Structure 1
Amino acid sequence: MRFDADVIVVGGGVMGSAAAWAATRQGLSVLLLERFEAGHTRGASHGATRNFNTAYATDDHLDLVLEARGLWDELQEASGRVLLDLVGLVNHGFDPSLRTTAEALRRRGIAHSFLHPAAAAERWAGMRFRTEVLLVPDAGRVRAADALAAFRDVATARGAQFRYSTAVRDVVTDAGTALVVTDAGEFRGRYGVVTVGAWSEKLLSARIGLPRLVVTQEQPAHFAPRAGEFSWPSFNHTPDPGEPGDAYWYSPVYGMLTPGEGVKAGWHGTGPVTDPDARTYRPDPVQLAALQRYAREWLPGVDADSAVPISCTYTSTDTADFVLARSGAWAVGAGFSGQGFKFAPAVGRTLLDVARGEPAPPRFSPALVAR
């Protein structure tokens, strides 16, 4: 039987690109097929930055994010690009789990500390704080666009083929191998990895029974920093359900400085449910107005009226746990629920192992029923 590559990867966003890179690290040949052009803005992987947050309380998440940290460092060295800006990350607001998270970090030897809100406000004058702050200094942001390019450049330098503008119509397990049907013909690999984000249900549901996935159009914004010397950590901020002043919040808020674009802030997972092929790319005006109100009240270092909306997708599971599971010859990565980018190099390695029959952590490995 003729194979076009050892590994066929369907989807050229961050997870597919990471899987391709992971395969080349092990000396395997790779063919990656992506429906859209390189650098497109229709999915969840575009944009300049993402939070790099290591403040997780569960062992499964900590295992992945710590592995990812080492792999990000390896990719930085191999690509010659700076991919992590370790400006620190702060978690604050009404979050009863912060002490549990801090204990999990202590057990893993991850540096962290709690700051009084006044001390935090003095250190980061562009932000307001009402509660104690959990600071993780060895965290910050990932340079997302540079990361995508780094995965591709290093993988292709090792022989991987990235084919863009190649729509995949079907993925099949045929005689124990991964078969892909496209308008340009069929391709076969010994193993397959499919990670197509918001299009997971559309591409896979005829062949594979997936957990429920909800696609939403998310709408963060960039805010222009005011004149002055401000230091900006990345941040997660949780509302207080007992505080009337927080009643307008849609969800916790995440954010970070995006150099050259401003301070990015957004509600988490509250956008309208959407068809990824029929998006409006327009922000909901009520949610945007609420986000601007948040900026006025909590980010005094930005001009709240300067908001420039951004559009991306979340593909979320009911539990917010990822899907890293196998069906036939295919490893499926899906449902990253707006928190996956930081884990990408470790997810890529995991998906490659899953494709070859190794188990993922049970938290991330629901049973997928072949149809």
Structure 2
Amino acid sequence: MQKTAESARYAIIGAGLSGAAAAWRLAQSGAEVIVLERDVPASAQGSSHGSARIFRYAYPDPFYVDFVVQAKRGWDELEAASGERLITPSGSLDFGVVRDPHGLARVLEREGIEHELLSRDDAAAQWSQLNFDSDVLWHPGAGVIDPESSVEAMVHLAKTAGAEVRLGWEAVSVRRASSGYLVTSSTGDTVHAEQVIVAAGGWLPTLLSGLELPEGFVNALPQFEVRQENAYHFPYRDPQDQGETPPGGATSWPTFIYKGQDIQTYSLPGGRDAQFRGQKIAEYNAGRIIPSARDQDGQLDPENRKRVVDFVERYTPGMVPEPYAETTCLFTNVPRDDMIIDRAEGITILSPCSGQGAKFAPLLGELVLDLVVDSRQTSERFRAAGQRFAEV
């Protein structure tokens, strides 16, 4: 017996940060929306789980600095609408010769973002828990995003505005129907939609072959590179640094990004992920490449762990160089460290890639709204065409 298809004007595949943001903005506009999530919102099998992501303004590219400024307005709106604090102030430090603090400072200066450029000695006087090997950029507007709470807030607001959410609903194909598209699940359930927004994160490579996209668009899509990253939590030496941030307060440690000749890392207070006991540190883009999120196994790389522990011993005297917790997470990369936000006929690919999407979440929902409702094109740099990894 054939199952009757549910229907909505817009079907969104995935309930991570980007899918939840799209659902919130579309439902907020009065559109009929259904969200199809293979697991649960902010699933541990995706890229939006846990309680700690970096919100920062420091980019070498003014385009992205302005993008953060726009996104912050959305975060302020989301916090006001949900009644929750979703970004905890921390401030952020950038150092290391490859990170180029002076170049970052010039961009922040042009864009009017509060910042301070410090010598190694001056920075060491303020942050004795860290060792510095270059001048240091400080910008106080940075913070720590709680992605899981943010997803839950946006999904709740979307549902309040009328959106439907289906959990445990794994989309495997999107095919043209007599009008619109038919989305089919792994169990044979179907949803009919006029338009489909694919926000599948690291699961996108698995789903791509099931999307009925125009051949030219498919040929223009970049290779999506999924990495299983390694992340570690190191305890603070000072007991006063431990404990949940009081309401209205800032974290005891800043976030920081280090890029040197031999290693590139990022770090932030771990929040609930670390029982508020320590700092999360990972080597940037150093995990093994896997075909898609379906192929993650959660196994840590011992060589990667050694490199990160060595970094902690050299640069973070305020931490005990023995991780008390460790985990894996997903990075989905595209060339130029950009994102893919592009539409082909009635299918939109929303892939905020390259380990940077969390900070833009509310803005991504606005861009999808503009793209699918008002047919406004996003920036050329987010288009599928022209983004390819260099041939080896």
**Do both share a fold (TM > 0.5)?**
yes
Distance across 2 between alignment mates of 1:125 and 1:143: 27
Secondary structure of the structure 1 residue equivalent to 2:337: coil
Contact 2:334–2:354, Cα closer than 8 Å, also in 1? yes
In structure 1, give the amino acid aligned to 2:228.
Q
Residue 72 of structure 1 and its aligned partner are, at CA, apart by 0.5
1:217 paired to 2:238: no
| In 2: Cα distance, 1:126 partner to 1:99 partner | 22
Match of 2:284 in 1: 268
Unaligned runs of 5+ in 1: 242-246
Partner of 1:136: 139
Residue 185 of structure 1 aligns with which residue?
Answer: 189
3-state SS, counterpart of residue 67 of structure 1: helix
- Superposed, 1:29-108 pairs within 5 Å as 29-95=32-98, 97-108=100-111
Letter in 2 for 1:120: A
Q: Please, which of 382, 387, 391 is the counterpart of residue 364 of structure 1?
A: 382
Tell me which residue corresponds to 1:227: 238
- How far does the alpha carbon of each residue in 1:167-213 deviate from its partner, in whole angstroms, 9 at most, with x for none? 11111344562431223532122322111011212112353422111
Matched, 1:163 2:166: yes
Q: CA deviation at 1:335?
A: 5.5
2:297 maps to a residue whose letter is: T
- Specify the alignment match of 2:298 in structure 1: 281
The answer to whether the Cα contact below 8 Å between 2:42 and 2:147 also exists between their aligned partners in 1 is: no
Which residue type is aligned with residue 300 of structure 1? P
Asked if the contact 2:206–2:294 (Cα under 8 Å) also holds between the matched residues in 1, the reply is no
Q: How far is 1:54 from its partner? A: 0.9
* 1:154 Cα offset (Å): 1.4
Compute the displacement of 1:354 (Å). Answer: 2.1
Partner SS for 1:192: strand
TM-score, length of structure 1 as denominator length: 0.91
- 2: CA distance between counterparts of 1:96 and 1:185? 49
Distance 2:254 2:178 in 1: 51
Runs (4+) off by over 6 Å: none
CA distance in 1, matches of 2:179, 2:348: 13
Matches of 1:335 and 1:344, distance apart in 2: 9
- Aligned residue number for residue 267 of structure 2: 255
The alpha carbon displacement at 1:92 in A equals 0.6
The amino acid across from 2:329 in the alignment is: C
Is 2:18–2:352's contact at 8 Å kept on the other side of the alignment?
no
Distance 1:57 1:174 in 2: 45
- Match of residue 306, structure 1, among 305, 323, 336: 323
Offset, 1:351:
2.2
**Equivalent residue letter for 1:135:** W
Decide whether the 8 Å contact of 1:172 with 1:178 is kept in 2: yes
SS of 2:223 mapped into structure 1? coil
Cα distance change on mapping 1:228 and 1:118 into 2, 3 Å: farther
CA distance in 2, matches of 1:233, 1:46: 21
- Count matched residues: 358
Output the CA distance in 2 between the equivalents of 1:59 and 1:199: 30
Counterpart pick for 2:24 among 21, 45, 51: 21
Deviation at 1:105, TM superposition (A): 1.8
Q: In the alignment, residue 289 of structure 1 is paired with which amino acid?
A: K
Q: Distance in 2 between matches of 1:172 and 1:106?
A: 48
Q: Which moved more, 1:264-273 or 1:356-365?
A: 356-365
1:97, distance to aligned residue in structure 2 (A)? 4.4
Indicate yes or no: 2:126 matched with 1:123: yes
Q: CA deviation at 1:272?
A: 0.6
Report the TM-score, using the length of structure 2 for normalisation. 0.86
Match of 2:204 among 169, 193, 200: 200
Structure 2: distance between partners of 1:82 and 1:16: 20
Q: Deviations over 1:145-173 (max 9, x none)?
A: 21111111111111111111001111134
**Which AA in structure 1 matches 2:279?**
V
Q: Which shows bigger deviation, 180-189 or 141-150?
A: 180-189
Q: C-alpha separation between the residues in 2 aligned to 1:120 and 1:154?
A: 42
Deviates more, 1:173-182 or 1:264-273: 173-182
Deviations 1:256-297 (A, max 9, x none): 112341200001111011242232201100111111111111
Q: Is the 8 A contact 2:17 2:42 kept in 1?
A: no
User: 2:89–2:143: 8 Å Cα contact kept in structure 1?
Assistant: yes
Q: Matched residues in 1 for 2:266 and 2:228: separation?
A: 16
Q: Is the 8 A contact 1:60 1:363 kept in 2?
A: no
Asked if the contact 2:235/2:320 (under 8 Å) is kept, the reply is yes
Asked whether the equivalents of residues 64 and 347 of structure 1 are also in contact (C-alpha less than 8 Å), the reply is no
Per mean C-alpha deviation after superposition, the further-off stretch among 178-187 and 118-127 is 178-187
Q: What amino acid sits opposite 1:259 in the alignment?
A: G
Task: State the AA in 2 paired with 1:265.
Answer: I
1:310-325 to 2 correspondence within 5 Å? Answer: 310-325=327-342
> Do 1:56 and 1:104's aligned partners in 2 also have CA atoms closer than 8 Å?
yes
Shift of 1:81: 0.8
Distance 1:340 1:96, change over 3 A: closer
What RMSD over aligned residues (CA atoms) do the two structures have, in Å? Answer: 2.0
> Which shifted more, 279-288 or 31-40?
31-40
Checking the alignment, whether the CA contact within 8 Å between 1:32 and 1:161 is kept in structure 2 is yes
1:55 Cα shift? Answer: 1.0
